[in-house]
Amino acid sequence: MTEPEARGGDGAGPPGRGAAFFDLDKTLMQGSSGFQFARVVRAAGMISRRQLARDAVANVRFRLRGVSDDESQALRVRIAGSLEGVRVRDLERLGVHALRRILPRLYPTMLKLAYEHQDAGRPVYIVTAASQDMAQILARVMTFDGALGSTLSEVQDGVFTGRPAGDFLYGAAKAEAITRLAAREGFDLGACYAYSDSASDAPMLSAVGHPVAVNPDAALERLARDAGWQILRLDRLGLKLRLAGALAVAATASATTAAVLQRGGRRLQSPSAGSR
């Protein structure tokens, strides 16, 4: 594992015990776990085909450029509202089907990094805006040491009310969550690692001694380069689309050139052209 230079700490004595914190979407896995769960929820008849199509577009946009704070908060409200009247148990039963879609999208490179951290004595945690229940299931399946996730909706009598409630681990809330965990478990944040793709996670990345930008959006890439943070690139969707666009332009230009040459050849071969 390539380790960036340690930051943080007061420089007095050796660093203490560290941990590694991994964002989920576009960091541990390709794309959005929420979209994969939405596909399962759609198959169960809990959301409309139109809503799933909207989520598909949002997923591609997310993979290409990340998501804004307003978009993330709006997504939370929409998800919470869509859960109104749904039994918690019914949603939990869909977890196994969601795993079938999420697990194949995990990056082997990131799993290898996580296990290297564990072998080096650093506990590994998922830190995500996705639901706490899903984060915990994934952590158990991947043999991570724990997970920090969001509460998406208030629950009364085992049924979701549709009202957002509890912690939503987005932006600064992630940094606050890992800081509380570090205090509780005795981790030295200066000896900790954090991995994320989004500038919204800059507070979490800045809180540790070893921040790593994974598939960074444009804003995070600028921040990482300015701060000297390590950058990992694993998601090739953006590159593939850019290459496809370039090839399309090249093909169009080639076809245009061929058409022009063909028309010119016909003019040279015509009787009128030969009489001039």
Query: Residues 97-116, buried b or exposed e (16+ Cβ, 10 A)?
Result: bbbeebeeebbeebbebbee
CA-closest candidate to residue 201, choices 92, 126, 90, 97? 126
Q: Residue 160: in which H helix or E strand, if any?
A: strand 159-160
- CA-wise closest residue to 23 among 138, 181, 122: 138
Six-digit token pair at 273?
């052209």
Catalytic residues: 23, 25
Structure tokens at 98: 């969601």
Tell me the two tokens of residue 83.
């859960």
Report phi then psi at 126, rounded to 5.
-85, 135
Structure tokens of 93?
A: 């039963």
Please say whether the dihedral angle defined by the alpha carbons of residues 132, 135, 140 and 146, taken in this order, is positive or negative.
negative
Q: Which residues have C-beta within 8 Å of that of residue 11, sequence separation ≥ 6?
A: none
User: Using alpha carbons only, what angle is made at residue 30 by residues 27 and 34, rounded to the nearest 5 degrees?
Assistant: 90
The number of beta carbons lying within 10 Å of the beta carbon of residue 139 is 21
Total residues belonging to the chain: 276
**Which helix (H) or strand (E) segment is 261 a member of?**
helix 237-269
